[in-house]
């Protein structure tokens, strides 16, 4: 019988271990993408939101704020305590707090009407809502950081590819110049210029390769991918909806911006606190109850005509404030706090209005700059096509053709930089208007 029971136990442990292994494997595959496979922008943002440590801390702090509010709420719920007040007494039996020494006692308290405490509770609840906005702000920060790193990594890798082609063109130019120099057809300064151009290209490649490694490390840290994971990105752009500037961008920013929501939430919290402190002029009502088990050891039968072992009291305790300096000071403090919060709301509204106008103008300027870079690139490509035809006809030299290739490659780099600058401006505009989360749903 014992052998059969041990056998069943072993099978249960083996099944549990197998199930745990399967679940862990599924979770690992859900979080990380296979090394070498292209990582899309959307998946990168999803991984970052899932694995962000700062976002996890913000959610914990949000839960902490909720638990803090529950502590204040507990004052308005039944609170029952049990204990003992056994003590030696000489003379009239009495104890600290007005409770007589007892073998065993149970006390009950519950606030029924207490406006200052109620105001503090409502303030804490509003601050709990403010923690939701703080979590949302950190979430937007994670999205912007991940999208920026992803888009820049794509730009850097395209730039490295272009500079690789420039390296080949610069080498051909240097070879032709060196040959012509040896034949006495070029001055030494032309060879030095060709060497300098090739060295500058190598310097840019080295700088971009270092930037590429930094961006990969940043993306691994943001998305939670392993340190040895090879990140392959696609040449993606932001969604088309991100390029549309809202007609009422200022109104959307004032309605949806997280900083504005936080400022307004803080103002509401202080309004609730002030309302509660003003209620301190009214009476407070508390339900109380106590049961005591007494003993003759404390000489109750000596000092009182009738001794009763079991004692029970239940009712309400009302306190009427007649002259309370604490209430007056608390109202003055809450009033000042509210004025500060109101000024902060106005300042945030003014700052956001100015910021949204500036960002909208910057986005339009960068759109124009991108269009200029695109047309310059198109012009360089058309010029390269014409020179290729002339080179095939023998009308120009290889060096002239390679110089045009360098020009076309530089225009590509200018276009990539202009496009990335526009993407950065779009991300900031989306964050300011509160539309960032909708774009990356």
Token pair recorded at residue 306: 């009738």
For 60, half-sphere exposure in the C-beta direction (CA atoms, 13 angstrom radius) is: 6
Q: What pLDDT is stored for residue 96 in this prediction?
A: 65
Among 11-20, 280-289, 351-360, 367-376, the range scoring the smallest mean pLDDT is: 11-20
Kindly indicate the confidence band of residue 438, based on its pLDDT and cuts at 50, 70 and 90.
confident
CA 96 – CA 409 distance, rounded (Å): 88
**Measured distance CA(43)–CA(330) in Å, rounded:** 51
Chain segment 272-282, per-residue pLDDT in tens = 999 999 998 98
* Per-residue model confidence as pLDDT tens digits over 240-282: 766 666 667 788 888 888 899 999 999 999 999 999 999 989 8
Confidence bin at 98 (pLDDT 50/70/90): low
- Of 337, 340, 319, nearest to 115 (Cα)? 319
pLDDT score for 201:
93
Largest separation between any pair of C-alpha atoms in the chain: 133
Q: How many C-beta neighbours within 10 Å does residue 413 have?
A: 19
Task: Give the model confidence (pLDDT) of 172-199 as tens digits.
Answer: 998 888 988 888 888 899 889 989 999 9
Place of tokens 């700088």: 207
Q: Which residue has the higher pLDDT, 371 or 234?
A: 371
**Average confidence (pLDDT) over 105-125:** 89
User: What pLDDT band is residue 19 in, cutting at 50, 70 and 90?
Assistant: very low
- pLDDT surpasses 60 at 10: no
SS3 318: strand
Question: What's the mean pLDDT in 11-30?
Answer: 40
Residue 312 is predicted with a pLDDT of 87
Q: What is the pLDDT of residue 243?
A: 66
Contacts of 357 (CB under 8 A, 6+ apart): 250
And the tokens for 356? 């949204």
Cβ proximity of 311 and 93 under 8 Å:
no
pLDDT, tens digit (0-9, with 9 covering 90-100), for 159-169: 999 999 999 99
What's the whole-number mean pLDDT along residues 120-137? 88
Residue 16 has pLDDT above 80, yes or no: no
Tokens representing 423 are: 């993407």
Could you give the CA distance from residue 22 to residue 14 in angstroms, rounded to a whole number? 12
Domains of the chain, CATH where assigned: 34-77+114-282+321-439 (1.20.1600.10), 79-111+283-320 (no CATH)
Could you tell me if 291 and 285 are in contact, meaning their C-beta atoms sit under 8 angstroms apart?
A: no
pLDDT at 249: 77
Rounded CA separation 433/356 (Å): 8
d(CA 34, CA 28): 10
Q: Would you state the pLDDT for residue 181?
A: 85
Mean pLDDT in the chain?
84
- Per-residue pLDDT of 311-325, as tens digits, reads 888 898 888 888 888
Name the token pair of 19: 């199930």
pLDDT, tens only, 42-95: 899 999 999 989 889 988 888 888 888 888 888 888 898 888 877 777 777 776
Average pLDDT over residues 406-411: 93
């Amino acid at each position: 019988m014992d052998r059969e029971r041990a056998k069943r136990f072993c099978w249960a442990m083996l099944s549990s271990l197998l199930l745990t292994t399967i679940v862990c494997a599924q979770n690992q595959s859900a979080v990380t993408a296979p090394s070498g496979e292209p990582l899309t922008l959307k998946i990168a943002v999803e991984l970052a939101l899932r694995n962000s440590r700062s976002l996890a801390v913000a959610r914990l702090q949000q839960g902490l704020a909720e638990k803090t509010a529950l502590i204040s709420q507990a004052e308005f719920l039944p609170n029952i305590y049990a204990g003992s007040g056994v003590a030696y007494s000489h003379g009239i039996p009495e104890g600290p707090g007005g409770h007589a020494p007892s073998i065993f006692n149970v006390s009950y308290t519950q606030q029924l009407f207490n406006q200052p405490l109620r105001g503090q509770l409502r303030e804490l609840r509003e601050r709990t809502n403010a923690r939701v906005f703080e979590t949302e702000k950190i979430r937007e920060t994670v999205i912007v950081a991940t999208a920026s790193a992803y888009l820049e990594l794509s730009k850097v890798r395209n730039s490295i590819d272009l500079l690789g082609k420039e390296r080949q063109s610069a080498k051909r130019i240097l070879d032709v110049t060196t040959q012509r120099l040896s034949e006495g057809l070029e001055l030494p300064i032309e060879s030095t210029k060709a060497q300098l151009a090739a060295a500058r290209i190598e310097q840019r490649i080295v700088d971009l390769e270092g930037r590429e490694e930094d961006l990969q490390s940043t993306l691994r840290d943001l998305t939670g991918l392993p340190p040895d994971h090879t990140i392959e990105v696609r040449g993606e752009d932001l969604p088309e909806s991100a390029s549309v500037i809202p007609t009422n961008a200022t109104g959307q920013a004032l309605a949806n911006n997280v900083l504005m929501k936080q400022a307004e939430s803080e103002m509401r919290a202080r309004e609730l606190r002030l309302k509660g402190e003003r209620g301190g002029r009214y009476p407070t009502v508390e339900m109380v109850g106590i049961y005591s088990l007494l003993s003759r050891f404390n000489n109750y039968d000596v000092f009182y005509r009738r001794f009763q072992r079991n004692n029970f009291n239940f009712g309400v305790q009302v306190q009427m404030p007649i002259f309370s300096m604490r209430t007056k000071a608390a109202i003055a403090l809450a009033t000042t706090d509210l004025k500060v919060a109101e000024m902060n709301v106005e300042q945030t509204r003014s700052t956001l209005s100015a910021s949204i106008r500036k960002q909208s103008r910057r986005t339009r300027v960068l759109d124009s700059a991108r269009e200029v870079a695109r047309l310059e690139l198109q012009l360089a490509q058309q010029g390269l096509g014409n020179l290729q035809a002339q080179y095939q006809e023998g009308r120009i030299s290889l060096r002239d053709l390679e110089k045009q290739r360098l020009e076309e490659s530089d225009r590509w780099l200018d276009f990539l930089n202009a496009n990335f600058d526009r993407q950065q401006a779009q991300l900031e505009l989306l964050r300011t208007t509160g539309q960032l989360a909708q774009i990356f749903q």
